Every structure is written in C-alpha cells, then in structure tokens.
Chain A
Amino acid sequence: MSADPRDAAVPTTAGRVGGIDRPLELVLAGLAQDEDELLGDLAEGRAEVASAQGGRAARHWWRRQALRAVPRLVWHDLTHLPTTVLLGLGGFVLWAWVASAAYTAQWFPVVRQIYPVVPPTSRIIQDTALVGVWNLLVAAVVGATIAALARRARLAPVAVAAALMALISSGHAFYIVYGPGTCTSTVDEYGCSLELGAWSKDVVVPVLWQLPTMMVLLPLATGLGGLAAVAWSRRRARASGRLPAGPAQA
C-alpha cells in the first residue's frame, strides 16, 4: 500500500494541537495567498523545534510565529491585492445598506418610531436588543459573503470591512442605542419619537449595546462570518484532495 504524503500523520514530537492553534491556523489560511507554503513552513519548523527542544517549546514557537505573521499578512494583502480593499469597502456598504434598510421595512419589528406615548423601558430594551442582534447578524453574513467572493487571501477584505465598522461605531452616533424618547406636538399631529444614537445623555438601555461594545462586537461578528467561509472552503478543498486530509496542523 503506498503512503500518500497528504495523509501523513503529523510528527507526534511536534506536540499536541492546543485549543488556540486551530482557530489561529484558520486565520493564517484565510490570510495567506498560498496556504501550503506558509502552513507547511510552520509545520516543518515546528517539527524541527520539537525534535531539538521538545513539544512544549515547539508549540510556543508555532504560536509566536503564527501571531507575528498575522499583521504582516494583513498588510501584505492590503498593499498587494487591490481588489481586497474594494471588496472590503463593498462589504461595508452592503452591511450599512442591509442593516439600515431593515429599519424602514414593514417586517422589521423596530420600525415603529412614532409612538402615541413614550414607550416603556422594557420596550426600548427589547427594540435595542433586536437592532443590536440584527446588526451583528448582518455583519456576520456580510463577512462570510465577502470571504466567499474573494479568490485569494479571503480574510483580508473581511478585515477591511471589520475595520470600517469599528471606525463608524467609534466616531458616529450609531443606531444601536435608543434614548428615552421625546413627544412633540404640531398643528397637524402629536407623536412621540425615540431618539436614535448612542450619544444620548440619558440613555435607558443596557450598557451591552453601547459604545465601545459594538466597536468590538461588530468586527468580531464580521470576522467570525469570514472564518466560517474560510473553514467551509477548506473543508471542500480537503474533500477534493487539494488540502491534507484530517485535522490540519501546522
């Protein structure tokens, strides 16, 4: 029976794959233009360190190298793949459009912005949670979509979109938090509206959705969506034999 190198077991001297290694490997696979080259070098280097210094040192070496590679890869992709930035910008616009379009859609539960009276706090909390979850959900779907559309370095455009989301969450009154609402009367009508925006002085909503929480949660949701797409494409590549079978380890 001939041994296929792709099915080769990883040297046991390289140490057990830790909890953080697999997600980190997924990130590297999503950022590298040639996954085999980068992860193969890391695997080979790890095996060398393991045989010289033991599994623990090899694991630390691998993690240190992997963590150092991430920012380099992001920068490299951004400066060498022009479509990355365009795709990331497109993803951000798509997210902003879909997330805000829902507010005017009849099916979205938080569309009632004019109330006959100021709504109770529980209602505001519920609406705020709905808007927050909706935004995060759209961010995850957009992250997965642009990662699936990118042909190489799938996570690079995701990083662009995630950075823009973090940016807009930090410096703009983002429609995540509702103020308590104000009632106004004109000659024609009387109504109470909720104040949109995170800068309200007397916000009565859970702190969970306030800044800078969304600055962290939105990029995180986008990144998780992108990682899901990378994992899915790797699974397909593995099934077709283009990637080593079994749990990949670098």
Chain B
Amino acid sequence: MRTPGSLELDVLVAVAQHDGSAYGLLVRRAVSTARGSELSVGAAYTTLSRLEAKGLLSSRSTEPLPVRGGRSRREYRLTAAGREVLAAERERAGRRWGGSPQWGQA
C-alpha cells in the first residue's frame, strides 16, 4: 500500500486520539490544531472517505442528532491496517529524529 500523505497521517492520528467516536468535525478541529492552519470540512470529509476506502478506517452511522439538524454522524475507528500504518510511521519518525541533537534547547 502507498504510504499515506502528511494530511492522511494527521487524520489517522486524530482518529486514533478519539478512536470509535471520531467524526468529521472533531477530526477537522484536531487536525487544524495540530497543523496550525484551518482544515476545511470538505477536506476532512474527503480524507476520511479516502482512508476508509484504503481500509485504514472503518465507520458506522449514529442515530440522527438534533444538533446536526436531524442528520446522523459517521463515527470512525482505526482498523488493524490503520494501526500498523501509524505504528510504522512512529517507528520511522523515531529512527529519523532519534539521534538528532535537541536544537533550540539550552
């Protein structure tokens, strides 16, 4: 499988943080905070959909909610493949940064 891009990884991390109860708006907020720039609702929606198509996420629809004008929520959770991707990415980042000096620290 192709390595996920940086936005996809950020979305996977956001879903992992709220595993099982992550949905578009929540993911959008988490990713926007992590990246320091606003992620659009459309970008969150298409990225989640793409990750689900890749088999890294699974989802289920909730009951309709009044706060959403009577619409349901789609809640996402990581699949086993999604967890593997995140673990591999963490290991890769550790290898890359593990031996680096702590720039900027006294």
Contact = CB atoms under 8 A, between A and B. Distances in A.
Interface of A: 3-8, 10-11, 32-45, 47, 65, 68-70, 72-73, 76, 80, 244-245, 248-250
A76 B46 contact: yes
B66 interface: yes
Classify the interface of chain A: helix, strand, loop or mixed.
helix
Contacts of A38: 24, 41-42, 45
A72 B65 contact: no
Interface residues of B, number: 27
Contact of A8 (B43, B46, B66): B66
Contact of A72 (B25, B42, B71, B72): B42
Main secondary structure of the interface of B (DSSP, over half): helix
Interface in B47-82: 49-50, 53, 61, 63-74
A72 B39 CA distance: 12
Nearest to B61: A36
B24 A41 contact: yes
A37 B24 contact: yes
A43 B71 contact: yes
B68 A44 contact: yes
10 contacts: A5-B64, A8-B69, A37-B23, A43-B67, A69-B40, A70-B42, A76-B46, A76-B49, A80-B50, A245-B70
A73 B40 CA distance: 12
